[in-house]
Structure 1
Amino acid sequence: MKIIIFGATGMVGSRLVKQALHMGHQVRAFGRNVFTADLPENDNLELIQGALFDEKEVFTAIKGCDAVLSALGGAPNGLDVTRSLGMKNIVTQMQKAGVKRIVGLGGLGVLNAEDDTFLLDAPDYPAQYIPVGKEHLKAYEFLKASSLDWTFVCSPDIIDAEVTGTYVTNADYAPVPNAYKINVGDLALFMLTELEKNEYVKHRVGISN
Structure 2
Amino acid sequence: MSADMSAEELEKKKTYSWQRVPVVERQVASGRLVLELAHSWDYSGRRRRWADRQRWSLEDKLGDVLAELEGRVQFDEERRIAREQEKATQQQQWEAARAQARRRFVEDGRIKALSEQMQAWTEASRIRDYSAAMEAALPDEPASEVVEWISWARQYADRIDPVLRGVRPPEIPEPAAYELKPFMRGWSPYGPDGS
TM-score in terms of structure 2 length:
0.17
Q: When you count helix as a share of all residues, which structure comes out higher?
A: 2
TM-score in terms of structure 1 length:
0.16
- Report which of the two structures shows the higher radius of gyration computed on alpha carbons: 2
Q: When you count strand as a share of all residues, which structure comes out higher?
A: 1
